[in-house]
Amino acid sequence: MKRVWAATTIAAMMVGASVAGVSSAYADVVKFGIIMPFSGPFAVLGKQAKEAVEAFQKLNGKTVNGHEIQVIWRDEGAGDAAKTRQFAEELILREKVNVLGGFALTPDALAVAEVISEAQTPTVILNAATSIIPRKSPYFIRISMTAAQYISPLGGWATKNGVKTAYTMVSDYGPGIDMEGEFTSSFERGGGKVVGKDRVPLNVTDFAPYMERALQSKADALFIFAPGGAPSVAMVREFERRGLKQAGMKLMGSGEMQEIFLPSFGDSVLGAISSNHYTESNQRPENIAFRKALNDSTGREAVPDIVAVAAWDGMQLVYATVKSLGPKFTGDQAIDFMKKQTINSPRGPVSFDPKERDIIQNVYVREVRKVDGKVINVDIATVEQVRDPWKDNNPNAK
């Protein structure tokens, strides 16, 4: 009796295995491993990315031509390059992901460059914004933005709109210093003058003394940059509370004025100018569909940010790749295919610089306004198809 049972079990297992084997020949699983922060100070980025990916899969299905697209998440934490590298290795070796992606922070993206080069794994950068990253591995492609790219139109816009002097206040780290440099050079090219600058340590939360210095400078405008979240919110709040607006200063920035942060501020943020590659309230059909999908999927009035839109477009890129190349592709094939794509993104048309594998997109100058009782960003100027200016200024930097 026991033997019969054992035999049937083995037979059943063999049948099961062969069925599984047969089915995999027709329908493969394509794995997309994403490393984003779900804990720590940048947890909001992971949440935004995940909601966008889930909404995308709800709308478009989890399969492409019968091949299942499986997304595997790992927690980047508060930014830990060693851990991120370890996750990348684990995803590539154990999970055998076909595509890797994510990375909120530059050091974490840089940390996986070697790994993906060795494994030849195509890797889609969903946030990290330092210009040099894609040059660190031929398997990187970026679908987010570079800091220099999305700030580049702001200085020129300011000089054309009556701003003659500016004070700059940036967080004292890589992207902050890039921002300060890019804004200053474009502002001075247009004839403006930077009358003072502050670099604020990242751990600072009380911005009173810096705002006081800016107020005393009597500049026409204050240009700010701080990483999105608590630091940027505290910066803008102090600008409001200290009455810099009443003193006639215009607030200018970038990601600080994203729609998700606007409810944190009072009405004095109205009129603030920012430069960004995605305006949450734009009326493109792609954006309306995107926001509807997000609302349906999350069951609430979700406000997407730049990470959500990057994750959404990242999914478009992966789906398009599987549609054209099938479930099996090499890293070179995938990157070759991806960098030739043009995507109708919720932010506007998106393409890639094939040589640099970096994104080319519109950048919008927006003003914070109250429309129908809601505080949102409204586009007031558009610069089309902006390349990363840093790459052109530093053609040989590695």
How many residues belong to the site for another protein (CB under 8 A)? 37
Long-range CB pairs of 111-117, under 8 A, 24+ apart, other chains included: 111/81, 111/82, 111/84, 111/85, 112/35, 112/84, 112/85, 112/88, 113/137, 113/140, 115/85, 115/88, 115/89, 116/88, 116/92, 116/140, 116/331
CA distance 368 to 98: 41
Q: Does 209 bind another protein (CB under 8 A)?
A: yes
Only one of the segments 93-101, 102-110, 238-246, 273-281 lies at the binding site for another protein (rule: CB under 8 A); that segment is: 238-246
Only one of the segments 113-121, 148-156, 202-210, 291-299 lies at the binding site for another protein (rule: CB under 8 A); that segment is: 202-210
Residue number, 213 or 387, with CB nearest to another protein = 213
Binder of another protein out of 264, 330, 344, 385 (CB under 8 A): 264
Q: How many CA atoms lie within 13 A of 181 on its CB side?
A: 13
- Interface map 179-198 toward another protein (x if CB under 8 A): -------------------x
Binder of another protein out of 177, 195, 204, 375 (CB under 8 A): 204
Only one of the segments 39-47, 219-227, 340-348, 381-389 lies at the binding site for another protein (rule: CB under 8 A); that segment is: 39-47
At 290, which amino acid appears?
A: F
Which residues lie closer than 8 Å to 351 by C-beta, 6 or more apart? 341, 342, 343, 359, 360, 361, 385
Only one of the segments 35-43, 310-318, 338-346, 369-377 lies at the binding site for another protein (rule: CB under 8 A); that segment is: 35-43
DSSP-assigned letter for residue 42: T
- Interface map 121-160 toward another protein (x if CB under 8 A): ----------------------------------------
- Interface map 303-342 toward another protein (x if CB under 8 A): ----------------------------------------
Q: Does 234 bind another protein (CB under 8 A)?
A: yes
| Residue 327 zone, left/alpha/beta (φ > 0; ψ -120 to 50; rest) | alpha
Binder of another protein out of 16, 61, 191, 243 (CB under 8 A): 243
Residue number, 102 or 327, with CB nearest to another protein = 102
The distance of closest approach from Cβ of residue 182 to another protein in the complex, given in angstroms and rounded to an integer, is 21
Binder of another protein out of 203, 283, 299, 398 (CB under 8 A): 203
Q: What distances in angstroms separate CA 10 from CA 6, 20, 46, one per listed residue?
A: 6, 15, 44
Q: How many CA atoms lie within 13 A of 357 on its CB side?
A: 21
Rg (CA), the chain: 23
DSSP-assigned letter for residue 294: H
Which residues lie closer than 8 Å to 258 by C-beta, 6 or more apart? 228, 276, 280, 305, 306, 377
Q: Does 208 bind another protein (CB under 8 A)?
A: yes
CA distance 244 to 249: 6
CA distance 283 to 212: 39
Q: Does 248 bind another protein (CB under 8 A)?
A: no
The distance of closest approach from Cβ of residue 53 to another protein in the complex, given in angstroms and rounded to an integer, is 17
The distance of closest approach from Cβ of residue 169 to another protein in the complex, given in angstroms and rounded to an integer, is 10
Q: 52 by DSSP, 3-state: which?
A: helix
Binder of another protein out of 31, 142, 242, 357 (CB under 8 A): 242
Q: 192 by DSSP, 3-state: which?
A: coil
Q: Does 372 bind another protein (CB under 8 A)?
A: no
Q: Which residues bind another protein (CB under 8 A)?
A: 39-41, 43-44, 47, 172, 198-201, 203-206, 208-210, 212-213, 216, 229-230, 233-234, 237, 240-243, 246, 260-261, 263-266
